[in-house]
Structure 1
Amino acid sequence: MVIGASSGLGRCIGVGLAKKGARVALLARRLERLEAAAQEAGENAVALKCDITDDASVRTAIDSAAEKLGGIDSLVYTPAIGPLVRLVDTDADTWRKIFDTNVIGAALATAAAVPHLTASGGKVVYLSSDAGTYGPPWPGLGAYGVSKSALERLTESWRAEHPDVGFTCLVVGECSGGVGDGQTGMTDGWDAELATMAYPLWVSRGCMPGKLMPVEDLVEVVRTILSTNSATSMPMVIARGAPEGAATLPK
């Protein structure tokens, strides 16, 4: 089950896993885009509408996914928003929107899926970012980075309470590839002037090291994590571009 599968990396991962033979439930809020993704993915995929900011919607969608798939072996949580805004200008509403999507939605989805995952000895993968605790803070993306740090702590907390389920926080570097709805919309709505000012700071602080990682490699990293036994899953995996391709390192 892939949540956030109507666009961006979530779409790439959901469609990619289905094309590699997995039976996949694609969940997201935008049903029309989701159905297009399911059509591209083929007969192994089903589309289910889900608003991750609404507890009832999450539980209904996940129960439906379990019914259609005959259970749930894994959950991949990909939704995230990252407004480009200085901390001094980040208002309460923006903070709430970021945490609703990046952290609270992940917690709600996991809570709804845990009974199914416990029954299957399943896995959960949360997509995180270099902007979290793994890398240096990104000026202009402070609130986003804080939310990703919280997501990493959430991963550890779920592992502590449910050791029979495998929980992994997948820290993703810059990705290349993905066309149409598969393109990442992270920069949508960013202020161009602020982005121009922030970019040199990101480079000078080492926020953008390495090469771009092809999305095909990212899909393979996710598939590898999901194929391991839940008892041997790592709390954190780093996936970023390198001359040899994708690299994964436990932390």
Structure 2
Amino acid sequence: MKDFEGLGAVVTGGGSGIGLAVARTLAQRGAAVACLDLDPSEAPGTGLRADVTDEESVNAAVAAAARQLGRIDVLVNNAGIGAQGTVETNSYDEWQRVFDVNVLGLVRATRACLPHLRRSPAAAIVNTCSIAATAGLPQRALYSASKGAVQSLTLAMAADHVGEGVRVNCVNPGTVDTPWVRRLLAAADDPEAELSALEKRQPTGRLVSAEEVAAAVAFLASPSAGATTGTVLAVDGGMHGLRLRR
């Protein structure tokens, strides 16, 4: 498929994990891709160093991406960080940091890209959200709150910008096999037991792959999905909706 031929895409957090898989998928399907990341050294296409908590850094990187790509048609707001703990255990500094990256980082990147997206005949924004936005998960209070905000913001943005021809959707992955998840497993008292528990939590009985999330992002961003906006697409092995009898 070359449905992104001639289009320019910006992927935040494109240096590893889901973002890297998204960047590779879009590039394979014809897009010119710019990856914004604290460490973009592994990113395909154009790698630009950017810190989504710094508006000046984001604005400079997006301007550079527009110059090098010639246009910006797609924005994938993927940059994010995780957090473990209950409502009591995370410090207020950590609450502020996670929201600064996961929510305000999305706002900064979107603000920088919108002037370019408004000029595109195929403008699309896809936000990486999480199953944590819709399912109560233990020890994920802060992370869940930030991703709940991302889902609500996605719907509000879709309403605000549909009249400008800018589609806005999000993907809600389940537990994805990423470097961050592997670090969490390595820090567990019993990594194998923890991995097994995470796998069993999803009805398919396995972790989601980054490539599967990337395929969902590409669908939502593609011009062929031109009638799809304000949509939350779960990529979670059935976790959000299935209740299996064991």
TM-score w.r.t. structure 2 length?
0.80
Contact 1:128 1:151 in 2 (8 A): yes
Residue 150 of structure 2 aligns with an amino acid whose one-letter code is L
Number of equivalent positions: 223
Alpha-carbon separation, structure 2, partners of 1:194 and 1:149:
30
- Specify the code of the residue in structure 2 equivalent to 1:11: L
C-alpha displacement at 1:83, in angstroms? 1.8
Give the Cα–Cα distance (whole angstroms) in 2 for the partners of residues 119 and 208 of structure 1: 41
Name the CA distance, whole Å, in 1 between partners of 2:95 and 2:191: 19
Percent identity for Structure 1 against Structure 2: 31
Instruction: Output one character per residue of 1:185-206: Cα deviation in whole Å (capped at 9) or x when no partner.
Output: 1453686359999989979xx9
Q: 1:112 to 1:194 in 2, by over 3 A?
A: farther
Matched ranges for 1:39-118 at <5 A: 45-118=45-118
The runs of 5 or more residues in structure 1 that have no matched partner are 39-44, 177-182, 243-251
Tell me whether 1:238 sits opposite 2:239 in the alignment.
no
Q: Is the 8 A contact 1:126 1:170 kept in 2?
A: yes
Aligned residues of 2:202 and 2:236 also touching (Cα < 8 A): no
2:18·2:211 contact (CA, 8 Å) conserved in 1? no
TM-score normalised by L of structure 1: 0.79
Aligned-pair distance for 1:236? 1.2
CA RMSD of aligned residues (A): 2.7
- Counterpart in 1 of 2:220? 225
- Counterparts of residues 1-251 of structure 1 (less than 5 Å): 1-30=10-39, 34-38=40-44, 45-121=45-121, 122-133=123-134, 136-163=135-162, 164-176=165-177, 183-186=178-181, 188=183, 192=188, 208-210=202-204, 211-227=206-222, 228-241=224-237
- 1:170-221 superposed Cα distances (whole Å, 9 cap, x missing partner): 1112334xxxxxx431453686359999989979xx9543343333332222
Unaligned runs of 5+ in 2: 1-9, 239-246
SS of corresponding position for 1:6: coil
Name the CA distance, whole Å, in 1 between partners of 2:192 and 2:28: 38
Shift of 1:85: 1.8
- Name 1:246's counterpart in structure 2: none
